[in-house]
Amino acid sequence: MNKRNRPTFTAEFRLEAAQLVTEKGYSIREAANAMGIGKSTMDKWVRQLKK
């Protein structure tokens, strides 16, 4: 059986992606599409940044 590998994102990439929402005014969906990641992942990163 093949094991799927999850992509690994750097802390810098996560911060840059979340800042699209918090500083640039993107919606979570727009930012996720722009960065090529899932909406739920983007939502989680934005929540973590806001903490």
Q: Please provide the distance, in angstroms rounded to a whole number, between the alpha carbons at the two ends of the chain.
A: 39
Q: Does residue 4 lie in a domain region?
A: no
Q: 10 Å Cβ neighbour count for 30?
A: 15
Interhelix angle 39-50/28-35, rounded to 10 degrees, is 110
Residues 10-45: tens digit of each pLDDT: 999 999 999 999 999 999 999 999 999 999 999 999
Q: Does residue 22 lie in a domain region?
A: yes
Q: Does residue 1 lie in a domain region?
A: no
What's the domain range around 46?
11-50
Q: Does residue 39 lie in a domain region?
A: yes
CA–CA distance, 37 with 51 (Å, rounded to integer): 21
Residues in the chain, total: 51
Enumerate residues 6+ apart whose C-beta is below 8 A from 36. none
Q: Does residue 5 lie in a domain region?
A: no
How much is the pLDDT for 1?
A: 64
Q: Does residue 3 lie in a domain region?
A: no
Q: Please state the pTM of the whole predicted model.
A: 0.84
Q: Does residue 34 lie in a domain region?
A: yes
How much is the pLDDT for 6?
A: 84
* Total tally of structural domains belonging to the chain: 1
